[in-house]
Amino acid sequence: MAASTILQPFRGRLAAFGVNSFTIGLVEATFLVVITRSILSVADSDTSLDLPFLGDATMSKAAVVAAVLIAARLVLGLVSVRLQTGLTYEINSSLRQELARDYLAAEWSAQMRQQRGILHHVAVQLPAQTTSLVFQLSSAIGGLLSLVSLLIIAFVVDSLASLIVLLALVVLGSVLFPLRRAVRVRTRRALEHQTAYTTSIAEVADLGLEINALGVSNETAAHLDRLVENEMQAHRRVGLVSYAIPTVYTTLAYGAIVIAVLALDAWSSDDMGSLGAIMLIMLRSLTYGQQIQQGGTALSQLGPVAAKIEQYRSEFREAHRAPGREQIDRVDVLSFDAVTFSYDDATPVIADASFTIHHGDVIGVIGPSGAGKTTLVQLLLGLYQPTGGLITADGTPIVNLSPASWHRLVTFVPQETRLLDGTIADNVRFMRSNITDDDVHHALRLANLTLDGDRFADGIHTDLGAAGRQFSGGQRQRLAIARALATDPSILVLDEPTSSLDAESEEVIVDTLTRLKGQVTVVVVSHRDSTLATCDRVLRVENGRVSVETR
């Protein structure tokens, strides 16, 4: 079962929590027997009483024993809290880390097949749900073991009463089984609605400009309202059953106590101290029984959630590609040799493409929308692998190269620049800790991005929280170019770098590309003549065919 797969790495902590819970039950049951017999002794004006495991004792000795048991219960309870919270937070952290790593290690093609917002759903929402359910489940495990220890003490005191309590618990569990099965089914449906809402939220975040420009904010809000309503109704149906289970259990348990009292009365025991202790133990068992029932409900919900996690984990891990091992320091010649690529064995998007790019060349990529330009660029970046033919760097197939060295030497500037929270230096580094401040300054100079001392008083350490909003489109694009140049690459790939810029900003970008000519191989996707004027050759992509044109 998928739930056991999630819990398996933490079996040691679970075992410690279980032992602690069992001990709590023993201490608590012993205390209930001691306090019940003490009360009845006071009522009967007896000066001594029979303590479990200790025999005859005075009232003062009984008080000391009770105080010790209370202190032990407090310490064990605090230990239980520490173990339980540690367990749940470790599971949450572990799932988030593993799922995020599995997703990021999957091939780009596998990531592209996923719905929008899937990373947030998989690495945030599902682990959070799992943590909540594991907390309830661990409480149930603790309740079960505490209940077992209660029954052991009860059996020592009165075996008949213990059998009656045990029989009642078995009957109650069987009566509530259909309700837990209903919870499991409804949880699976609720997860589907949750995924749909997460996907739509991610779409709205990406399409904010279009939504406002087209004036469909109200329609978008109504669409999200419907999805929220659907998800709410699905979770409500889960809640109606899962939250009803404790109420049903309590009602049935009270009925079982009445039956137990009648049975004990028929047994007509003369040991009122034992009978009183057994009744207290039975009443205390109600709480642990509720924990067990809630844990059963949590387990019914955890099953579908864990199965969903395992499904995503398997998908991501199956999409891992064994990385190449060969290291390279630079790329002088990049060659496409009869390269073909298609999605899902469909008509090739790129068909039989052959060309060579030499160090220092500036190569343009042109073609109508949907012709395959983006696919060609992603093949060049190593994000997709050809379904036919071969891409080589200085004669070595790029599939054999270490991803770390390849992505250091072949870098990318997207059409739309996205900034990270943090400083200018953080944005240039882009989570690559080996890039020094000197590298950042050098990359900014190459990208022709000058930091005005009045606006950026802290230089590269200026926080972009506010400054980022002051950046013009051209400055953002130059920051993206600096980000790509920070690793001293051999090949720089740019996707429509000037398409959304004004004439002045475009001129600065074109000047940057001109100055890079001969130092770095540049491949630029563009439809603007001013940008293409800097190119030595142009790759025309049309209907999946790639032809080479000399400028």
The per-residue pLDDT for 282 is: 65
Chain centre to alpha carbon of residue 459: 35
**323 within a domain of the structure (yes/no):** no
Residue 325 lies in a domain: no
Both 507 and 425 in one domain: the answer is yes
The answer to whether residue 490 is domain-embedded is yes
Q: Are residues 341 and 198 in the same domain?
A: no
Domain identity same for 88 and 139? yes
pLDDT at 283: 64
Q: What is the pLDDT of residue 1?
A: 45
Q: What percent of the chain has pLDDT over 90?
A: 18
- Residue owning tokens 């200085």: 394
Domain that holds residue 122: 2-318
Residues 29 and 160 in one domain: yes
Output the CA torsion 286→292→293→299 (10° steps): 170
Query: Cα–Cα distance between 433 and 404 in angstroms, integer?
Result: 13
CA dihedral 479, 481, 482, 488 (to 10 degrees): 170
Sign of CA dihedral 439, 440, 444, 445: negative
Lowest mean pLDDT among 92-96, 282-286, 302-306, 399-403: 282-286
Q: What is the mean pLDDT of residues 348-365?
A: 92
Q: Which residue has the tokens 């959630």?
A: 305
Tally of domains in the chain: 2
414 has a pLDDT exceeding 80: yes
The better pLDDT of the pair 359, 48 is held by 359
Are residues 148 and 26 located together in one domain of the fold?
yes
Q: What is the pLDDT of residue 3?
A: 67
312 and 345 belong to one structural domain: no
Range name among 164-178, 304-318, 406-420 with the lowest pLDDT average = 164-178
Shared-domain flag, residues 280 and 364: no
Pick from 260, 283, 318: which residue ends a domain? 318
> What pLDDT, on the 0 to 100 scale, is given for residue 417?
82
CA dihedral (124, 126, 129, 135) positive or negative? negative
Rank 16-20, 54-58, 59-63 by mean pLDDT and report only the highest: 16-20
- Note whether residue 401 is domain-resident: yes
pLDDT at 521 over 80: yes
Pair 398, 343 in one domain: yes
List, for residues 460-482, the tens digit of each pLDDT value: 888 876 545 667 777 888 898 99
* Residues 476 and 545 both lie in one domain: yes
Query: pLDDT higher for 540 or 212?
Result: 540
> Please, what is the average pLDDT of the chain?
80
Instruction: Kindly calculate the radius of gyration of the chain based on its CA atoms and give it in whole angstroms.
Output: 34
518 confidence band (pLDDT: 50, 70, 90):
confident
Q: Which long-range contacts (CB under 8 A, 24 or more apart) does 530-533 make?
A: 530/498, 530/506, 531/364, 531/497, 531/498, 531/506, 532/364, 532/366
Question: Residues 340, 295: one domain?
Answer: no
Q: What CATH number is given to the structural domain containing 201?
A: 1.20.1560.10
273 has pLDDT over 70: no
Same-domain status, 305 and 373:
no
Most trustworthy range by pLDDT among 126-140, 197-211, 233-247, 509-523:
509-523
